[in-house]
Each structure stands twice: as C-alpha cells, then as structure tokens.
Chains A and B, each alone.
Chain A
Amino acid sequence: MKQSILLEGAKFQITIKRLCQQLIENHGDFSNAVLIGIQPRGTYLAQRIQKEIQEMTGHTVQLGIMDITFYRDDFRMKGTSPLAANSTEIDFLVDDKEVILVDDVLWTGRTIRSAMDAIQAFGRPGKMELMVLVDRRFSRHLPIEPDYIGIQVDSIDSQRVIVSWEEVDQVDSIVLVTETK
C-alpha cells in the first residue's frame, strides 16, 4: 500500500481559509445562507468552515448536518446490506435559503445527488451550492460539479482519498492511498 500526502499542515489551513473567503465573497453576512454538512465526514469540514467564518467575520452561519442513507440509489444493489444511518440535525427550514452542501470528497457525484434529493424534505431552497475539500476529477457518474473546491486530484478508481481531521483523527491531512500488489 502506497500513501502520498496531498495536503497537510499550514497549506491545509490556508485551503480552509481560502474556501471561507470565497464563501464570504459570495454570501456577505450569511443572513440568507446555511451550511449543510453531509454525514458522516462532510460534517467536520462544515463545522470547521462555520468556526473559521465566525472568527473571520463575527457572523455565525446556520449549520445543519444531514444523513443521506435513506436516499441512496445503491440501496440493496451491493448484494450485501443497507448502510447504517447516521443522525440528521437540521433545526431550520431551508425555504428560499442559499443552501451550501458541504462534503469532504467528491467522486462519482452520487452522494450529492442523494443529498439534493434529501434536502427537499426540509423545504425548497432558493439556491443550492456545493463545497468539497477534494474534487476527484474526471470520475463523475452524474453531471454534478462543485462551486468551491479545496484541491483537485487526478486519481483512478482503485485509489482512495482519505481526509483526516484533527477533531477525530488528531491530524489535518489529505492522503491518496494506492493499493499495491
């Protein structure tokens, strides 16, 4: 197994800060914008973004976390078992809001499709945007592209991209893992 580090340390923090700056540029005081972190691992990025924006501007962006398990299009297709669900906590309606979906890695786009489906249960957003920390280019199964990108990675299907967070993994990093025989 070969591991190459794509991002860590100070550069990781700069990337997070840049994503925040881009959000501030587009959403100003965030009076009409909400962050939705996608379970399980998009929630860490969403929480980090919320915290950084708070420090940079003093504004608290509304934050929800959403689980998309029940909306997956591959339920029962793997011939194994359903994925255990995680919690969803969205204490507000998203009607006419600018919803920013937040996930760690964008790969096939299927999770985001499910998320766009799932968010409808909380209202009709005025606008939906997508932020990802890692965009695995040229691997989409669906016509979905992110509005805010941390880094872009060219990878093949057998490789894995793993994002670690200090809150849970003791280190901030993005690693590309290649299985070797």
Chain B
Amino acid sequence: MSTTTEQLSTRHLLGIKDLNEHDIQLILDTAANFKEVLNRPIKKVPSLRDITIANVFFENSTRTRLSFELAEKRLSADIVNFAASSSSVSKGETLIDTVNNILAMKVDMIVMRHPYAGAGVFLSRHIDAQIVNAGDGAHEHPTQALLDSFSIRERYGDVAGRKVAIIGDILHSRVALSNILCLQKQGAEVMVCGPTTLIPKYITSLGVKVEHDLMKALNWCDVANMLRIQLERQDIAYFPSLREYSMLYGLNKEILDSLDKEITIMHPGPINRGVEITSDVADSKHSIILNQVENGVAVRMAVLYLLAGQRG
C-alpha cells in the first residue's frame, strides 16, 4: 500500500529504451489496478476527463488502435481519430504540419503509429504535446512489449528469471526489439529464433541468444512469442516459400506435444493461421493470445494515466 507520488522518468513513451526498471514496474502495477477497473460493472474512471487525445495512424492497425481508443474512453478522455489514408497527407502535407494542425485544435496527447522508425522521436523534438509511440516502422512498439510482460507476469507471477523465445521475422519486427529491451530490463532471458535471413546481423550485441532450430528454442524457453512474417515489409525474398518457412518454423500441435514441458504461447497478432502457428495451437490452453489483447487495454490505460499525470 502506498500513498507516495510516483512518476515516470520520461514525458513521452517513445520506446522501451527510454524506460528504466522502475518505470516498467510502475506501469505494470498501475495496469493491474486498471484491469480490476475493467472487470467492474461500470468500466470507466474519470481521471482524464480534461484531456484530449488524438490517435494518429499513418499505418493500418486493428488491435492497437481499438485498444488505445478503448483505453482512452475508459479514462474519460476526449478523443479524435485520424487515419492517414483518408487525410490530407495524401495531398502532400508534412508530418509536422499535420500534427501541428491537430494540436491547434487543443489536443494534449498524440498516439502515433508511423511506417518510419524514429517518427515519434522526431515529432517529440518539434512539438509540445506528449507522444505515445504506437509502433514506428521496424523500430519499437512499447505498449505491445509492456502488455506482453504484463501477460507473462500474470501467468508466472514474475518476469525475472523467465526464458522467453521470440520466434519468426525478427528483422522486420518492432515487437521483437521492444520485447527484448523490456524483458531484459526486468531480468528475463531472451532468445531469438528464425531463419538466418530474418535475424538482424548484430542482434547478439543486445545480449540475446540466437537459435536457428525451432525445436531447440522451444525446449529452452518457458514462453514462446510467435511473430508474423511481415511480407508487406519484405522488399526481397528472404526464404524460398511460405510453405517451407511454415515447415521449418511453424508451430503445430505435434511439436507442442512432443516437448517434455508445458510452455506458454504468445502472439502479438495479427495471426497468419497455418504459417507461423496452426489454429489448434493458437486456440489451445497453452495460448494466452486473447489474454494479451485483454491486457492491452489495461496497460494502455496505465501508460496514458501516468503520462497525463505529468502535465502540470
């Protein structure tokens, strides 16, 4: 129990890189309180009733956008949604101009997804509002990593000491980098697994194990986080065919049953069923994929609440 005033060490949430261990614990602890709120008959608190948030999405999203929108509504914030595809961006407006126009309408916080790495950092240097990165290119996706850690903590009690394998297209994944940083800051061991072409060359400098054999990775880990093959970001062919990838790196029921221990299966979505994971695994009791989605709202509420608390 505590009545102390605690706050994040950062004004924006641009990436896990900027958070320290205390920040991560504070977010996850606060998220646990919000998860309780979400199980009440009335799932809403008035904390952010004087805050206006713009959801600015320059890239497609289902889960993240809905999750942020629900989190904002359950904190009583006013929200505006902006999708680049239906906006003046297609008429040639720059990022700063677009965002400054949104801010001119008295918006306090910006939740942004952008196809280019560093878009959030760039924006934070030029505008006054607080920025939450909802995914920037293949760089970071901090709220996804936080909700993944929250889900692991919920399953095992603690993230420290857990072995987590991130399997799939590491090269194009922002979820992978944010997860590696987030898990390591909490004392977990991390392994990445995938075909050589989809593992970044210098990834070992982050202190992660690298494995190319799916069975070895699964036998090592407590938690397997399966990533999607991001065909839309692949400008060249990184492997001969999806069928071959699926045979070598796809997780199915037979493989799962052949392990001598129970592991937890996670997936940040969207799932390509039959490619990186089969339906029977995705829907099995080992899978906490839908728990991740549920926890996403609570974690995003915690992030928005703690950031808003810093506005004097």
Contacts and interface: CB of A to CB of B under 8 A. Distances in A.
Genuine A/B complex: yes
Interface in A63-101: 67, 69-72, 75-76, 78-89, 93
A109 interface: no
Contact of B305 (A79, A82, A86, A122): A82
A79 B37 contact: no
B38 to A, nearest CB: 11
Interface string B8-32: 0000000000000000001001101
Nearest to A68: B45
A40 interface: yes
- Closest 9 interchain pairs by CB? A82-B309, A81-B7, A70-B45, A121-B42, A85-B33, A40-B1, A79-B312, A84-B6, A81-B5
A88 B36 contact: yes
B34 to A, nearest CB: 8
Given A70-B45, A121-B41, 5 more contacts: A71-B46, A76-B311, A80-B5, A82-B6, A118-B45
Main secondary structure of the interface of A (DSSP, over half): loop
Interface of B: 1-7, 26, 29-30, 32-33, 36-37, 40-47, 305-306, 308-312
A70 B47 contact: yes
B130 to A, nearest CB: 12
Interface residues of A, number: 29
B70 to A, nearest CB: 16
Which residue among B40, B305, B308, B310 has the maximum number of chain A CB atoms within 10 Å of its CB? B40
Contacts of A87: 32-33, 36
A118 B3 CA distance: 18
Q: Main SS of the interface on chain B? A: loop
A43 B2 CA distance: 13
A50 interface: no
Contacts of A118: 45
A67 B3 CA distance: 11
A81 B6 contact: yes
A13 interface: no
17 contacts: A43-B1, A67-B33, A70-B47, A75-B47, A76-B308, A81-B5, A81-B7, A82-B5, A83-B3, A85-B29, A86-B2, A89-B36, A121-B41, A121-B42, A121-B43, A122-B41, A123-B41
B5 A83 contact: yes
B35 to A, nearest CB: 11
A117 B309 contact: no
A70 B305 contact: yes
B150 to A, nearest CB: 15
A118 B33 CA distance: 14
Given A75-B47, A76-B311, A84 B305 contact: no
A72 to B, nearest CB: 8
B2 A76 contact: no
Contact of B309 (A39, A40, A81): A81
A67 B26 CA distance: 16
Contacts of B44: 121
A122 B39 CA distance: 10
A65 to B, nearest CB: 10
